[in-house]
Structure 1
Amino acid sequence: MHPLRKALHNELHSRPSIYFRDPANVYHFAFADAEDLCDALVERLNQTADAPLATNGSQGLLRLGEDTLKWERHTEFFTLTLVVPRTPGDECWPPLPAALETLVAEYRHLLINADQVLVESEANWAGNTAAYGFKDPSGSTLGGGDAIAWSDFRLGEDGVNRILLVNRRLNAYRLGRMIRRLLEIETYRMMASLTLPVAQAVSLQLKEYDKELTSLSDRNAEGKSSAKALSGDIAALSARIVRSTARTRQRFSATEAYAQIVFERINELRESHIDDCQRLGVFIERRFRPTVRYCAATDQRLVRLGQSVANLGDLLQARVQVEVEEQNSEILRSLNARADTQIKIQKAVEGLSIIAISYYLLSLFKLFYQGLHSVGVDISAKTAILVLGPVVALILGAILLRIKKAKGH
């Protein structure tokens, strides 16, 4: 058996829902960036609880008197869910039990989401959402008509979002899963919305980056700026874009994942219209989807801007390469011109050398001819020319042949 088989298989059961029956109040809290506080929170919860029901590294169930408390550890947040049974006629929106209120108050600066769900039976609910303090609420039948949910998505003075769920035909298991979906929609929606301020800040930076990129593109197109200065400016802009990408990549990726979970949970509600109310899922999607699209568009703008800067760098590199090739061509043309000049000079020197050698040979033969006359040898000038002319020609020919062979080598 593979050593990880059991652990991986048991992931199917690692995060069970809390199963309960109506009526009840459900309190849900999500703390962002609470990784360092998880262990301390869990320790304090274990001290407060009457008895642990089930626990593992990522979640735990605790008993607080008649109440059931569940904690869950996630990658970027930590959640607490408390189910408090109630009896018909009790206060609709009672405050959080004091023991948990003290704990939550200490970490309120990390609280990213707080929900309170009032679960009523169809027989005992007031029949009018106004009785529960809602103003123009959205509502839907859930689970094919087995439950009804309302909420106006307005925060109370305590910063809590309130949801009313009227149970028609849900048993304890389905009720627990339905409540979990509603709470996950709100929690993941808020975690995804954490990226909105980041995207807005990045958008302001992108405007400056776009202006700088346009300026650099114009300078590159005009060709007036030196390649060295332009390359330095492009590298500086690229470094800032890479830094922004590195700082926001994880946040934008998280928003995409969280948003997908939100939309999946909305589909799992299996909503249908009730009266003239706008459905819960429609209300959330119409207001939440623009946030997701804005974050995705900002991320895409950042990626495309980085690609544009890289393309501009490639264009500058091509321009520099062309300039270098032109300089090399000029150098080659200059070298060719110098070689041609040297060849012409060499030919002129060779011609002059032949003339000088011919002159010296003729002068030498003249002296030889005069020497012959002085010793009494009578040779006519015509005969001397006929004899010595070919000799001079042969000597010059031999000299020219040696010069030609030297050039060949």
Structure 2
Amino acid sequence: MNGFGDYIQYFGLREAPFRLSPDPEFFFPARPHVAAKEVLKYGIGRGEGFLVLIGTAGTGKTLLLRMLLQELDPKKQPAVLLSPAVGPEGLLHLLLEELDADDPGVQDRGILLKRFQDAMLDLAEQGRELLVVVDEAQNVPRETLEQLRLLSNLETRREKLLQIVLVGQPELEDVLADPALGQLTQRVAVKEVLRPLSREETAEYVAFRLAKAGRGDMRLDRRTLDRVYERTKGIPRLVNRLMDRALLMACAAGKGRVGTREVQESGETVPMPAGVVAEASRWRRAAALAVLSMTLLAGGFVAGRMLQADTGEQAARPAVAREAKAPGGDVLRVVAHRAYVRSGPGKAFDPVALAAAGQVLRAEGRQADWWRVAVHGSDGAEIPGWIHDSVVSAREDAGSGAKKMDR
């Protein structure tokens, strides 16, 4: 084996398909990642104060964040804090540095707060808003998180001056459960959890990466893909490490593709963090329970639900859809993990409700690939809307002898 670059040339690849750097060009649109990105994007667009993204190490949080930042409204000014394990004064210095308004010599918190408030008002006069992204938020001291909550109170008569996205590993759940942070937790409008890839998604991920690098024709057999999944438990970073080494070994052996032997040997030479793999299994079980809960509790809570702010006012959000009970028409069952009900027949229309997996809706008409439905919001009021055909399964309602039309 002559080196890393040789396997790229040997296999006729344009570039390394499994490099670890978070490249948006290699973003794999797995269902949990796309759902999390869209919900966070929606929350940011609505001006929600606090948003939370949680995921086991290696599940793709950093790449998802890069995708989000690429798609930000130009009026949003991002401030990404990568080393947040600082006190309140350190936090203010980091934020002021992002706003080009820092003075390292100032340590008085009151003066720093005044500087920050002035900088935020200047930003508002320019028609812009600050989006603070705190990475590895599970390491942020409690006192600093409380300072963030206080900063979120800054607002004009019409709108808040900043939004805050907390990104972290599962330990962040425990941090936010601290009763001392109750006021902050009440302001969390969106919380999304990234789960590892399923067995099928892992196979699709490997094929996607190979195709992006120029070898869409390189197919791994089922046994090999199963071995990749068993070794990595669907954590993208671990898949990348394993497959990168397996390609090297296949190149050294003069083979045309990766097989079970290369995956097995790579797994022995590339240590897989046992704690991370165990955590992935725990989150997969938790995700399955969450889906079951959403199925059983129609009109109840859904992942990423909007919580009531501590002002007592209900945050603007899509309603949680309850099952409609109008007679006649087709019966639709939601087959996606979560689905938007929109105000019109197209993705350009705003969401008016969120429907959970397994929920039953009554169709009142159809236009192309969109079903017209009526759902009930959490307050019991009927909400007219549209839902896409791809996220539901339909059957004709004909009493007890209903004829199934599931696709």
TM-score by length of 2: 0.24
- Return the index of the structure with the highest Cα Rg: 1
Indicate the structure with greater helix content.
Answer: 1
